[in-house]
Structure 1
Amino acid sequence: MQIILLLLNIFGAVSLFIYGMKVMSEGVQRASGRQLQTFLNKMTGNPYSGAFAGTVFTTALQSSSIVSLLTLSFVNAGLLNLRKAFSIIVGANVGTTIKLWLIIVLGTTWHIESLALPLIAIAVPFFFFRNQKFKEWANFAIGLALVFVGLYFLNEFLPDFSSNPYLHELIQKYADETTILNSLIFVLIGIVITFLFHSSSVFILFAAVLVSKGMPLELAAMMILGANIGTTSTALIASTIGNRESKIVAWFHFFFNLGGVVVFFFFVPLIVSTLSKCVSQDGEIILVSFHTLFNIVSALLILPFLNGIVNYASKKFMNEDNSEHSLKLIGRPFGPTAKMYVYEANREVIKFAGITRQIISNLGRMITESDDEKSAELRQRIFTLEKESDELEKSILSYLNTIYTYEMTGEVALNIHRLIDICHHLESIGDIAIKTASVHKERKKNNSFITPKLRTHLIELHDSLSVATTTLVQNLNEIQGNVNLSEAKINEKSIDKRFKEAEDALLKAIDRDKLSALSALYYKDIILHYELIGDHLYQANKALGK
C-alpha cells in the first residue's frame, strides 16, 4: 500500500508540473493572440532568423511541443511554407533550453516552494482587472507557480538512489558496464517516458531530480538524448490528420533530432566529463548544459544546409498539384488554444471570400461576353467555384463547431459567431451568382437584347460589387480587428445608387419601346440579384464589426 501511495504522489507531482505548463502556455497564447503568427511570418526571412523566431516563440510559449503543433497547424492551413517551418522547428529545440535554465536557476537560487506562493499572490489581483490580457498573464504566473510546486513535490517523493541499496546496485550495474546496449536502453527509456509525458522539458527536469538522488550523469544524459527523440512523437501523431506539408514538417523534426542523437551518442561520457570540469559540479546544471549544447550544436550543423533540405523535400515528396489545405484540428489536450484555432478558421474564411471574389469577377465578364462558347465556359467556371465554396463552407462550419467544445473566452466565442455569420452570407452570394449566371444563359438563348446604356449601368453596378468584395477581404485580413465599416457603408450606398440608376434607365427604355418585355424582365432579375449580393457583402462586413 505504501508503494502505491508513493507512486500516486510521484505521478501527482508530475501531473501538477504538466498542468502548470499547460496553464502557462495557454495564458501566453491568449495574451499574445495573432501577433504570434504575425511575428513568425515577419521573422522567418532566412533559416537563421527563422531559427531565432522559433527560439523566441518557444521561450514565450514555454513548450517546444506546443510550438511544433502550432507550426504544423500553420503549415496545414497554408500560412507557413516548408522553409519557414523547418527553421522554426530548429529554433524551437533551442528555445526549450531557455525555459529549463529559467526553472533551474530560479530553483537553485531560491527554494522552489518559496517562489510559488509569492507568484500566486502577485498574479491573483490581476484577475480583477477588466483588461483580458492582464488576466492571461496572471494565468501564466500561476502556471509557473504550479510548475515550481510540482518540482518541489517530485523532489520530495522520489526515492534517493544512493540510500536505497537495491536501486543503487541496479543503477550502478548499468553505469559500470558502459556498453552500447546499456546506453541504448537508457536512450529508449528517455523516448518512452517522454512519449508518455508529452514533454521533453518535464522529463529532463525529472532526470535532473534523479541525478540529485544518485543516478549517474552519463545515464541521465543518455535518457536526455532519448527525450529529444520522444518529444517528436507529439508532432508525428498530430500530422496523421494533416496534409502532405504538415507530415513532411513532422518527419523533418523527427530525423533532425534523431541525427543529433546519432552525432552525440558516442561522445556522451567525454561531454559530461568536460562539462563537470568546466561548467559546474552540480548535476542539474550539467544536465541542462548538456541539453543546451546538444540543441545548439545540432542547430548550427543543420542551418547551413536547410535550404537544400527544403528543396529536396519539395521535389521528392510534394506533388505539383498539391495545393489544398485541409482544415482539421491539429492538437492534443495540452495543445493550442481555441483562440489560435479560430485564427486558422479566419484564414479559411478569407480563402472563401477570395473564391466569392472570383465568382463575381466571372459574372462581370458574362455581361460583355458575346461568344456563346466562352459564355458557357464562364458559367461553368462559376458553377465549379460555387461548388468549391460549398465544400469549404461545410469544412469551416464543422471545424468551428468542434472548437466550441474547447474552453474559450467570450471574445473567442463571439469571433466564432462572426465567422459563421460571414460564411452564411458568402454561401448566399454563391447561390445568387448561380441564379444570375442562369439568367444570362436564358437571355442569350432567347437572343435578348440589352441597350448599350443599360449595359453600361450594369457594368457600373458590377464594379461597385467588386470594390465591396475587396473591402470584405481586406477587413478579414485586418490583424488588430480594426474593421473599416465606414468603407463598407460607402460601398453599400454606391451599390444602392447604381441599382437605382440602372432601374431608372430600365424604366425609361421600356417607356421608349427600346426594350422587349422579356429583355426587361431578364435585366430586372440581374440587377436585383446584384443588389442582393451587395446586401450580403455589407452584412458580412457588419458581422466583422460587431
Structure 2
Amino acid sequence: MYDTFLLLLQVLGALGIFIFGMKLMSESILKLSGEKLRSIMGSMTTNRFAGIITGFFITCLVQSSSATTVMVVSFVHAQLLNLTQSIGVIMGANLGTTITAWIVSLFGFKFKVTAIAVPIIGIGVALSFLKGVKRRHLGGFLTGFGLLFLGLGELKNSVPDVKSNTEVLEWLASFSQYGFASIIIFVFLGTLLTVVVQSSSAAMAITLTMANLGWLNFEQSIAIILGENIGTTITAWLASLPANTAAKRAARAHFMFNIIGVIWVLILIVPFSNFIHWLYDFSTSFLPWEKLGSERTDLTNKLALFHTTFNFANIILLVAFVPRIATLVTRMVKDKDTGQEGTFQYLHSYNLRAGELNFQEATRAVQRLGGITQEMFEKFIDVYEHPDKDMSSQVKELNALEKESNVLTDELTEYLIRCTSDEVSEETRERAFSYMRVASELEEIGDCCHRMTNRAVRRYKKNRLVTDAAEKEVIQFGKLVQRFIELYSSKLDSEVSAADMEMTLDFEQAINEKRKELRKRSVGRMMESPDNVKGELLYFDIVNTFERIANHARNVMQGLPKKID
C-alpha cells in the first residue's frame, strides 16, 4: 500500500513538472510576443480559412489550445471576430495542439531527456537573471522547455514496468474483450483523464508514455486520444457556464466540432486505423522514422500521426459547414435580455491564464466607456436645448447609460487588476495602469453629465430659466466641450501624439476662458435682477461642471499611452 501511494506521488510529481513547464513556456511566449499575437488576431477578419491558419499558428507558438480558445472568446465578445470566424480559429487550434504529441513522440522517448533538459534549464535560469525584459522572458521559455522534457522523463521513469505488473496489464486488457463497447470505454477514460488533469497536452503525454511502455496498444490508445479531444472541450464548456452568450457559443461550437469528429471516426474506426498504418508505412519511403524513433517509439509515432490526421481530416470535412455550426450553436444558446452582455465574461469565469491575449477586451471596454460619456453629453445638450418639450425618454436613457457606466467601470477596473496580476508583458501592464486612470476619469465625466441633466430637469420643472441669450450661450459652450469629448473618444484605441496634447491644452484653455466669461455675465444678471438668483445659481453650476468635464478630459488624454516621435 505504501509503495503504491509513493508511486502515485511520483507520477503526480512528474506530471506536475510537465504541466508547469508547458505553462511557463506558454506564459513566456505570450510576454515576448503577446502584442504581436493580438495584432495577428485583430487583423484576421477575412474568412474561416484565414482563421484556421491563424489558430494553428498561434497554438503552435503558445503550445496551449486553451489559451487560443480563451483569446477567441475574448475577440468574439469584443466584436472583433464573428462566431463563424471564431470557429475557424478553434479548428486551427485543434490542429495546432497536435504539435505537442509530435514533440513528445519524436524527442521524449528517443533521447535521454535529462541530458537535454538539465542544460536547457541551466541556460534558461541564467538568462532569467540577466538585464533586459526580453532576455528574462527568453530565459523563462527555455526553463519551461527544459522542465517539460524533465517532467516527461520523470513520468516515463515513474510508470512501472509491464513485466513486473502483469496483473495491471491484464486488468487493462480485460476492457478490450467487449468489441466496439471496449472502444467506448477507452474513449470515456480519455475524456475523464483530460477533465481530471485539466490539460489535453498532459493527457496526451500520459497516453504516449503508457503506449511507449507497453501498457496500451494502438486501438486502446487512439480511443483514449479521441476521448481527450472531447475532454478538452468539456473544460472550456464548464469555464463558460457563468460567462456571457458569446463565450457560451464559442465553447459550444468547440464542443460540437470535436464531438462530430469523434463520432464519424468511431463509425469508421477500422478503415481509418488501417489508413493510418498504411500512411505511416508509406511515409517511411521519404521520412527516416528509424532515425527519429526506435521500435518502441514506432507506436507513439503512429499515435501522433493519428492525432494529426484525425484533426486535419475533421477540418476538411467540416470547414464547409462552419456557418451551419454557427447557426446551430446560436439557436442552442439564446441571447439574454438581462442587460449583462456588456460585462466581461472572463471576470465571471476567472479564466485569465492568457491575460496578455485577453487584453483586447479591456481596450474595447475603454472605447465603450468613452462612447457612453460622449452619448450622455449629447443627450444632455438635447435635453437642455428643448425646455418646452417632454424629454423624459431621453432622461431615462441617460440614467440607464449612467448605470451602465458605473457597472462597466467597476468591472473594467477589477479586470485590469486581474490582468496586471496575471502573466503579462511590462508594456501591457503599463497600459493596464493607464486604462485604470482613464476609466476613473471617464466615469467622473459620466457622473457630471448625469448631475447636469438632473439640474436641467429641475430648472424646467421650477421654471428657473435665465435669458434666451444666456441659454444659447450655454448651448454654444456645450458644443465646445462636446468637441473636446470627441477628441479623446477618437484616441481611446490609439496613442496620443504631441500634437494631440497641444490641442488638448488649447481646448482646456478655451473652455476655462469661456467659463470665466459666462460666470461674469451671470453675476451681472444677478445684480440687475436679484429675483432670479436660484435660476442663475443652477446656470452657474452647469457652467462650472463644463469646466470640470474639461479637466477630466485633459486627464484622459494625459493618461492614454503616448506616441514616441
Instruction: Report 1:32-431 matches (<5 A).
Output: 32-107=33-108, 110-162=111-163, 164-175=165-176, 177=177, 179-214=179-214, 215-279=216-280, 282-315=298-331, 317-319=333-335, 324-329=341-346, 336-374=353-391, 376-401=392-417, 406=422, 414-431=430-447
Counterpart pick for 2:474 among 444, 451, 458: 458
Contact residue 125 and residue 139 of structure 2 kept, 8 A: yes
Give CA-to-partner distance per residue, 1:374-432, whole Å, 9 cap, x none.
3x443333222212212222333344455576566766655444333323222222222
Letter of the 1:141 counterpart: L
| Structure-2 separation of matches of 1:329 and 1:316 | 21
Contact residue 94 and residue 295 of structure 1 kept, 8 A: yes
TM-aligned CA deviation for residue 508 of structure 1: 5.4
Equivalent position SS for 1:3 = helix
Aligned residue for 1:473? 489
Counterpart pick for 1:538 among 530, 533, 554: 554
Equivalent position SS for 1:329 = helix
Contact residue 363 and residue 437 of structure 1 kept, 8 A: yes
Aligned residue for 2:7? 6
Q: Which runs of 5+ in 2 are unaligned?
A: 282-294
Contact residue 450 and residue 515 of structure 1 kept, 8 A: no
Letter of the 1:498 counterpart: I
Task: Judge which range, 5-14 or 482-491, deviates more.
Answer: 482-491
Letter of the 2:555 counterpart: Q
TM-aligned CA deviation for residue 261 of structure 1: 1.0
Equivalent position SS for 1:231 = helix
Query: Residue 322 and residue 523 in structure 1: after superposition, are their counterparts in 2 closer, same or farther (change >3 A)?
Result: closer
Query: Residue 205 and residue 320 in structure 1: after superposition, are their counterparts in 2 closer, same or farther (change >3 A)?
Result: closer
Query: Residue 361 and residue 157 in structure 1: after superposition, are their counterparts in 2 closer, same or farther (change >3 A)?
Result: same
Task: Judge which range, 35-44 or 514-523, deviates more.
Answer: 514-523
Equivalent position SS for 1:476 = coil
Counterpart pick for 1:500 among 489, 501, 513: 513
Letter of the 1:507 counterpart: K
Letter of the 2:205 counterpart: L
| Structure-2 separation of matches of 1:332 and 1:285 | 37
| Structure-2 separation of matches of 1:148 and 1:25 | 15
Task: Judge which range, 149-158 or 37-46, deviates more.
Answer: 37-46
Letter of the 2:441 counterpart: H
Give CA-to-partner distance per residue, 1:335-372, whole Å, 9 cap, x none.
52444455433432322221111111112223432533
| Structure-1 separation of matches of 2:388 and 2:323 | 48
Counterpart pick for 2:496 among 483, 495, 513: 483
Contact residue 113 and residue 149 of structure 2 kept, 8 A: yes
Contact residue 76 and residue 242 of structure 1 kept, 8 A: no
TM-aligned CA deviation for residue 240 of structure 1: 1.0
Letter of the 1:336 counterpart: R
Aligned residue for 2:288? none
Query: Residue 421 and residue 242 in structure 1: after superposition, are their counterparts in 2 closer, same or farther (change >3 A)?
Result: same
TM-aligned CA deviation for residue 17 of structure 1: 0.5
Query: Residue 403 and residue 232 in structure 1: after superposition, are their counterparts in 2 closer, same or farther (change >3 A)?
Result: same
Letter of the 1:363 counterpart: F
Contact residue 45 and residue 80 of structure 2 kept, 8 A: no
Paired residues, number:
540
Contact residue 464 and residue 495 of structure 1 kept, 8 A: no
Give CA-to-partner distance per residue, 1:247-285, whole Å, 9 cap, x none.
122122122211111111143344334433441571111
Equivalent position SS for 1:232 = helix
| Structure-1 separation of matches of 2:125 and 2:194 | 32
| Structure-2 separation of matches of 1:92 and 1:407 | 21
Contact residue 118 and residue 150 of structure 2 kept, 8 A: no
Instruction: Report the RMSD for the aligned CA atoms in angstroms.
Output: 3.1
Equivalent position SS for 2:491 = helix
Give CA-to-partner distance per residue, 1:428-465, whole Å, 9 cap, x none.
2222222322332344342624444x556534432332
